[in-house]
Amino acid sequence: MTRGRFKAIPALVWCIVALQAASASADPCAEACSEQSTPQGAVNIYSETTSDHMSPATTDALPRVYVPNHASNSVSVIDSQTLKEVDRFPVGRHPQHIVPSWDLKTLWVANDAGLSNKGSLTPIDPKTGKPGKTIPVDDPYNMYFMPDGSSAIIVNEAYRRLELRDPQTMAIKSVISTPTCHGINHADFAADNSYAIFTCEFAGGGLVKVDLSTKKVVGNLTLSKKGMPQDIRLSPDGKVFYVADMMNDGVFMIDGNSFTEIGFIPTGVGSHGLSVSRDGTQLFVANRGSHNMKRAGPHGPGSVTVIDFATRSVVAQWPVPGGGSPDMGNVSADGKQLWLSGRFDGEVYMFDTTTGAVTKVRVGVEPHGLTVWPQPGRYSEGHTGNMR
């Protein structure tokens, strides 16, 4: 993803875009129309994702954490208030991420079956916590949405392409080929939503920049240390993309407009997932505790590194007591809890975002990209809850 200087987009413009992409009663539009997202001249892409910005679309959603168990083909459901697993149901092969839909009404389980052509998406109703009918989709490793809600973006890792699909039916509309991006997986969007940057996990590690208007690749960037980039998130001011690199044990900083590398921050072993604090001031980096892509041993030196966006420096380090493998996740609506899957330990971690204290909950085998729901925001841009 790129980090550059962008103009704030007035809420009224987003209302018009949302009305074109959804019904006139769409809740994200109503939220956007109700107030300006940032003061004039300022940029804060997370201003609508603070705790007091819950969309009406999330009304009556159960307070749950949904965990895809990659190796046991199931989803664990945790009550975020009691910190107990309250349900577990089967889904498709190799679930990778739980993705909130653009309109905040559905949670999609991305079941990634590689080159077998048996991949699928399983919808979950967040008001009941129950799954619906699975839809066949080739290799959906991850899933994002065009910022105007017009298309879902299926990240087809095995076939090196992005598939633009109807966000409701998942019928395919068009394809963006990304042949130079080996292992395309995670993404984030520019502050003005003109482009997106996707990480390329394999073949030395790099990034690919996609123009969202022309729907074409407009740039490729190989990172200097040639590692294995994973998650990517944009700073609140829209100036810097942070890219977690699992082999280099830290995060690269990228200027998105010029598409250049501008710095690196060491964090911990196996830097992997990125989450933004509810007030938008800090970046939580999940360090998986291993460089192993396959199943590593349990109880590794996993940790969370806290980076201050304003100073671009580390302000805290939270180890997992007894070891662990924090991977992907997100922050609770009130900002008090950071939930992360424990990839090699069959558990998830709830970090207290004030103290760094950890509570563990047992789940299935190889939990991966969990989501916490509900979350505040006008709409979802995908992944485990990249909200705007």
Question: Which tens digit of pLDDT belongs to each residue from 253-292?
Answer: 999 999 999 999 999 999 999 999 999 999 999 999 999 8
The arithmetic mean of pLDDT across residues 29-42, rounded, is 44
The arithmetic mean of pLDDT across residues 326-353, rounded, is 98
Fold for the domain defined by 11-373: Methylamine Dehydrogenase; Chain H (2.130.10)
- Per-residue confidence band for 10, with pLDDT thresholds at 50, 70 and 90: very low
Q: What's the rounded Cα separation, in Å, for the pair 276 and 284?
A: 6
Separation of first and last alpha carbons in the chain: 15
Whether this prediction's pTM lies above 0.75 is answered by yes
Contacts of 50 (CB under 8 A, 6+ apart): 278, 279, 280, 376
- Per-residue confidence band for 58, with pLDDT thresholds at 50, 70 and 90: very high
Query: Quick one: CA torsion of 35, 37, 40, 41, rounded to 10 degrees?
Result: -170
H or E segment and range at residue 274: strand 271-276
Closest CA to 142 of 96, 183, 177: 96
Q: Range with the lowest mean pLDDT among 63-67, 254-258, 291-295, 355-359?
A: 291-295
Closest CA to 278 of 225, 236, 340, 322: 236
The pLDDT value recorded for residue 16 is 39
Q: Range with the lowest mean pLDDT among 14-18, 241-245, 288-292?
A: 14-18
Query: Quick one: CA torsion of 16, 104, 92, 243, rounded to 10 degrees?
Result: 80
Q: Range with the lowest mean pLDDT among 110-119, 159-168, 250-259, 332-341?
A: 110-119
The pLDDT value recorded for residue 204 is 84
The arithmetic mean of pLDDT across residues 46-66, rounded, is 98
Angle at the Cα of 237 from the Cα atoms of 210 and 40, rounded to 5 degrees: 110
Question: What is the 8-class DSSP label of residue 114?
Answer: G
- Per-residue confidence band for 339, with pLDDT thresholds at 50, 70 and 90: very high
Q: Kindly report the number of other CB atoms within 10 A of residue 187's CB atom.
A: 26
Report whether the peptide linkage leading into residue 301 is cis, meaning its omega lies within 30 degrees of zero. Answer: no
User: 64 — phi, psi (to 5°)?
Assistant: -135, 160
Q: Give the mean pLDDT of the chain.
A: 90
The arithmetic mean of pLDDT across residues 116-139, rounded, is 94
Q: Is the dihedral of CA 292, 260, 144, 27 positive or negative?
A: positive
Q: Is the dihedral of CA 31, 33, 38, 43 positive or negative?
A: positive
Query: Could you identify the residue written with the tokens 């769409």?
Result: 26
